[in-house]
Chain A
Amino acid sequence: MKRVLVIEDSQDFLDIFKQFLSTDFEVVVSLDQDEIERLIPEVDLVICDYHFSPVLTFEKVVEIVADRKPVILCSGSPDVTYRHSVPKTEAYKSLKPLALSLLNQGVKLQITSQGGIQMLHDDQVDLSEFGSVKVFRASHVEWEPEGWYVDSAKTGRRLASGFKTRQEALTWEKSHYSPGGDGWDEIEDSNQEGEVG
């Protein structure tokens, strides 16, 4: 499970963040600069308040993190902007999708210890130069009145549901079926050939 560092001084907001982030992430909390510096290599994403300490500022946190991990600003101040930001008033609906989206940037593939290559298909990476490629369905993303859902193509089991948008379902699916994700083992077990489309 991906780890998210939350830097937030309000216990109420911490409780709210933990409530809806902990379904997809391991949440760690800190307000201490030394501890934050130590934690950065160990977490995948940072969610940071703007006004939370007279000593440690949001700008300082961004400086500490540098380009190592994505940072989301989650602030109640309407006049504060940052490239990845969510107003606290919209945190419940926007924070998790943005976190998942930032964590799923890029194309992930695995080169196995046996010399093979496997990945969730992405048109940006063409593996055919390395030999004969097999492509097969991983999942079905469909709609029902309660929202978009994801079913495993291998087992038919419902994996996740209730997504407000199709993009949220696809973002979740990409995380689930990436190396290290909970669904990654399905590619290890699969040996079907040829289905494309």
Chain B
Amino acid sequence: MSHFTKLDVAQIVDADAFEAAAKELGLKTSRNTTAKSYHGRNSLEADVVVHMIPGDDIALTKNKDGKFDMQADWSYMGSSMIRDTQFKTVQDLQNRLVQLTTKHTIVSRYKRQGFRADVSEDENQNLNVTLIRA
């Protein structure tokens, strides 16, 4: 007899994994620097900055729980930045960043514990991961 384990949206727990996810999407990143938003009028110190267009970045910042939040001027990004990317909506971009960050986190964590990870993507863009003890 078995049980399902399910988590609706994974939180970001690893800044390195987030940066790897952004790079996998072909986005430029910087570490431990200032992120800009609202056409450069606002700024925020961030652990990882994803450069979308000049003056508007995605900032990854640590929260009080020790995990990370993505922050950006999402409404502006929706109308302007997204049209140049592979994503139809801001939500698609956020979902893909979280998904790939989770993949990099799991692969890295379990590799250190002696597992090999096989990852494949299905037709619905879900990532199927098999962890095999090496």
Query: Is there contact, CB below 8 Å, between B3 and A135?
Result: yes
CA distance A187 to B5 in the complex (A): 9
Task: Return the chain A residue nearest B95 by Cβ.
Answer: A115
Query: Is there contact, CB below 8 Å, between B128 and A115?
Result: no
- Main SS at interface, chain B: mixed
Query: Is there contact, CB below 8 Å, between B9 and A115?
Result: yes
B131 sits at the interface (CB 8 A): yes
The tally of CB-CB contacts under 8 A between chains A and B is 138
A136 sits at the interface (CB 8 A): yes
Query: Is there contact, CB below 8 Å, between A106 and B3?
Result: no
**Interface stretch among A29-37, A55-63, A72-80, A121-129?**
A121-129
CA distance A53 to B35 in the complex (A): 66
A66 sits at the interface (CB 8 A): no
A116 in contact with B1 given A110-B129, A111-B103, A180-B122 (CB within 8 Å): no
A-B contact pairs, 9 of them (CB 8 A): A106-B133, A113-B125, A125-B110, A131-B10, A131-B11, A138-B4, A139-B1, A139-B2, A179-B122
Name A residues whose Cβ lies closer than 8 Å to a Cβ of B: 105-121, 124-125, 127, 129-141, 170, 173-174, 177, 179-180, 186-187, 190, 195-196
